[in-house]
Chains A and B, each alone.
Chain A
Amino acid sequence: MEFKLPMTTKVYIDALNQKFNQSPDLIHKVFDIKGQSIVIHFISYQIKKERLDREILEPLTSSRKPWSVNDLQNRIPLASSKAETNLEEIAGQIIHGSVAVYIEGEKEVITYLLADQEQRSLERAETESLVFGPQVSFTESLITNLNVVRWRLDTDDLVMKKLIVGERIPTEVRIVYLKSLTNEENVETITQRIEDLVVDEIEDTSVLSQLIEDSSSTVFPQLIATELPDRFCHSLMKGRVGVMVDKSPTVLIGPVSLFSFFESTEDLYMRWNMGTFMRLLRILAMMLSIILTPMYVAALTYHYEVIPGSLLVSLGQSRATVPFPPVLEALLLETLIELLREAGARLPTKVGQTMGIVGGIVLGQAAVKAGFTSNILIIIIALSALASFTAPSYLMGTAIRVIRFPMIILAGAWGLIGIAFALCFLVLHLLKLSSLGRPYLAPVYPLSIKDFSDSIIRLPFNKNPKRPTSTMPKDPDRFDENKAKQKKDVNPS
């Protein structure tokens, strides 16, 4: 049946009912005002009923004159009113929480957005919690998130480009950046990639990130997904582009480099020397995490010569009772740790902690006592697991833990040569990666010594007047260096 206004109320109601598959949720009310038939459609739980009563129904029923579309728009002047003629559009509006008003005989339907969404309020960040600094995290509501970002970056420079992605379930995606700062190339790249997407649905930001990343075969994330507004806004201030997706509490940041994943905004809130120490510590931890267990496996399987004399006896004694070769032993324990982590993550927080104790202490102790593993390996594995959790980005931490497995196997098969091969491969792989077309290993390669000041290390703010060049910002200066040096103290002496 063709939907063409004007039509009688009955036909109109039928048409909408059919569109909504006779849904019991779609409520329609017919008013007869001065011989004029007016139909109102809405979905009961999608709208704020008080507002409907107060702002629409009351004026509508108390009027003495007959209504027309123009009257509606003039006399019930809600900001969100829209005139629609298309059934698809009307249905879409209703789904999103609009009230559709149709006056029999008119050519347009007026919709008012009175949406009422169930949502949680702003809460503390869970996965990226900070000890020190802003605690708030994004929520699932795009509107709230936009609101938070606007609140942090209250400038008209802030652009929030809107895109709709998803064939079946359209989802709103926002590309956020600072216009006078961000290089258009980055914005265009990311816009293009999102526009080119042909997908059914975007479940979450991380799904979008996987869809638009440069390389999908690698384990390394190429866009930062964060739930922290301060991290997001800080990145925008560096000239990066942000992507926000409706219904997702995480947001994307790009282009980024490998080292961005080891930066936490906490480093900014601490003094610069502590921040630098933390960043270096995390990078060191990553290296240790990758190299320790494979080295153990290689040394014990092939290269007994490299074991220092003082360690030889204790290593040998603890190995003597273990029935497996070192590779298997290491893989077993690594898997055990992964299991513990996974179980801890799936369980509620309180039970999760107990899991940690049971797994860590009881299992570990028992495994050593039973001669199942050597206690030195337990120390090494625990150390490298710990190290991998220091990465502020959860995805990067996971990536580090995953690449350990092939490295252990290579170390078990060809000892130090296997490790060297794996490391070379890793470096070459990282070299070939890019994030939105920008090099992944910046600022190390391409080398830009100035960018070190706020990536691998962190210099004091007043010594750091330049934005990182790896994102090619339009405005390379944060502030005037010379002006910042002048301090107009009231000098008591």
Chain B
Amino acid sequence: MKINYYVKQDVAVHAFYLFFLVHTVQIGAGLMGVPRIIFSESGTDAWMSLILAGIYIHFTAWIMVLVLREYESADVLGIQCDLFGMFIGKVIGCLYVVYLFFLLLSVIKNYVEVVQVFIFPEIPIWLMSFFLLFLMIYCLLGGIRTVVGACFIFFLLTIWLVFTLYKPISLMNWDHFLPIGQSTPFEVLKGAYKTTYSLLGFEVILFVYPYIKNKKAVHLPIQSAIFLTIFLTMLVMVVSIGYFSPDQLKETVWATLALFKIVSFSIIERFDFIAVALWMMVIIPNLVIIGWMILHSLNRMFYVSKKKSLFMISGLLFLASLIIEYRSYINLLTDWTAKIGFWLVFVYPLFIYFILQIKKLWRKGKRA
């Protein structure tokens, strides 16, 4: 396995699209329920947790790019093999694949659950999984160009949902935020930690970097994408706290979608139905990007043909989605994915950066 990975010019992606890639992979299943999760830790000061998490993510993404820039055109799989040797590198790579697999599974499961609760209690799980996986396979067969395109188009097709929040905003009670600082710093930190699941996904930078055409311009799209994610999460968070009373919010599992419940237009009485159905368009970019990362990793490390692994992964996902039935299992899955994700995405890149710096110093010392 080579450290650097070069792609043909015609499959390379313009850095501009990194914005959509990073943003759409972050927004997804997590956003549906994030208000309650943070709120249950840091109460009405949840927004502080979010700011804290936001700053940290901006920092991590920055470090990620720094790490990648140490090489000419490498992804994390190549870099860790270079740093820790082939064997350990591939083991961590496998860990990534397993984590990504669970992330993908949890996204599917969460969305299916939402559909069952909000629209169709009767819809069979396997059918929903089939729908989602079918779209994922169809998109992934088109390669990276289609994946990026899907992120871009679906972003445009769904971003307007934000504007429908005007109605809950008008019903907000700002008194819910006062007084500021009711929770302890430790609770705020814990709340920040709990944001992990909804903000995961920007590790895509580590994988897609070799595909970027103009590698010098990656900072701006990545940072602005993360900013938009934080902004949207913040918006949803703030509106939920203002709109629901604290006790209500603690009981509302999908607070974001519950906000859509009171939106209605003259031709559509209940907008939450439309929003949940449209949420499929928010989920698809998640699926295809994470799926692409898995295929890419397997192809890089073990030279498995992408088509073969695509069908294998989809089959596994399908079966796994059937086995997990209870809500509590889904929550467990989500929690564990978040835990692994925290270490792999939020901590590990810093570690790599650290090792790289030491190695550099060591090399310098040797030369001198």
Whether chain A touches chain B in the assembled complex (some CB pair under 8 Å): yes
Which of A's residues lie within 8 Å of B, judged by CB?
Answer: 302-303, 305-309, 311, 414-417, 419-421, 423-425, 427-429, 431-432, 439, 441, 444-447
Q: Which among A424, A445, A446, A447 is the interface contact of B281 at CB below 8 angstroms?
A: A424
The size bracket of the interface on B is 35 or more
Q: Which among A424, A425, A431 is the interface contact of B146 at CB below 8 angstroms?
A: A431
Q: Is the CB of B139 within 8 A of A428?
A: yes
Q: Is the CB of B269 within 8 A of A421?
A: no
Q: Is the CB of B120 within 8 A of A431?
A: no
Closest-by-CB residue of B relative to A437 is B10
Closest 10 CB pairs of A and B: A416-B277, A420-B277, A431-B149, A420-B280, A432-B142, A308-B269, A445-B149, A305-B270, A306-B270, A421-B131
Give B244-288 interface residues, CB cut-off 8 Å to A: 264, 266-270, 273-274, 276-278, 280-281, 284
Known A-B contacts A415-B120, A428-B139, A432-B146; the reply to A447 vs B277 at CB < 8 A is no
B154 proximity list for chain A (CB < 8 A) = 424, 427
Which of B's residues lie within 8 Å of A, judged by CB?
Answer: 14, 16, 115, 119-120, 123, 127-128, 131, 135, 138-139, 142, 146, 149-150, 152-154, 156-157, 264, 266-270, 273-274, 276-278, 280-281, 284
Known A-B contacts A306-B268, A417-B115, A445-B153; the reply to A424 vs B284 at CB < 8 A is yes
Q: Can you sample 11 A-B contacts with CB below 8 Å?
A: A302-B120, A303-B119, A303-B270, A306-B270, A308-B266, A308-B268, A417-B115, A425-B135, A431-B142, A431-B150, A447-B16
Q: Is the CB of A415 within 8 A of B153?
A: no
Q: Is the CB of A420 within 8 A of B278?
A: yes
- Whole-angstrom distance from the CB of B40 to the nearest CB of chain A? 29
> In the complex, which of the residues A302, A306, A423, A444 has the most CB atoms of chain B within 10 Å of its own CB atom?
A306
> Do most interface residues of chain A lie in helix, strand or loop, or is the interface mixed?
helix
B142 proximity list for chain A (CB < 8 A) = 428, 431-432
- Whole-angstrom distance from the CB of A188 to the nearest CB of chain B? 16
Q: Which among B123, B135, B156 is the interface contact of A444 at CB below 8 angstroms?
A: B156
Docked pose: A51 CA to B270 CA in angstroms: 79
Docked pose: A414 CA to B142 CA in angstroms: 27
A421 proximity list for chain B (CB < 8 A) = 131, 135, 280
Docked pose: A75 CA to B157 CA in angstroms: 74
19 additional A-B residue pairs with CB within 8 Å, beyond A420-B280, A431-B150? A302-B119, A303-B119, A305-B273, A306-B269, A415-B119, A417-B120, A417-B128, A417-B277, A421-B135, A423-B281, A424-B281, A427-B154, A428-B139, A428-B150, A428-B284, A431-B139, A431-B153, A432-B142, A446-B14
- Whole-angstrom distance from the CB of B320 to the nearest CB of chain A? 21
A415 proximity list for chain B (CB < 8 A) = 119-120
Known A-B contacts A308-B269, A309-B269, A420-B280; the reply to A427 vs B120 at CB < 8 A is no
- Whole-angstrom distance from the CB of A425 to the nearest CB of chain B? 6
Q: Is the CB of A416 within 8 A of B14?
A: no
B157 proximity list for chain A (CB < 8 A) = 427
A429 proximity list for chain B (CB < 8 A) = 138
Known A-B contacts A417-B115, A420-B281, A424-B280; the reply to A308 vs B150 at CB < 8 A is no
- Whole-angstrom distance from the CB of B269 to the nearest CB of chain A? 5
- Whole-angstrom distance from the CB of B316 to the nearest CB of chain A? 22
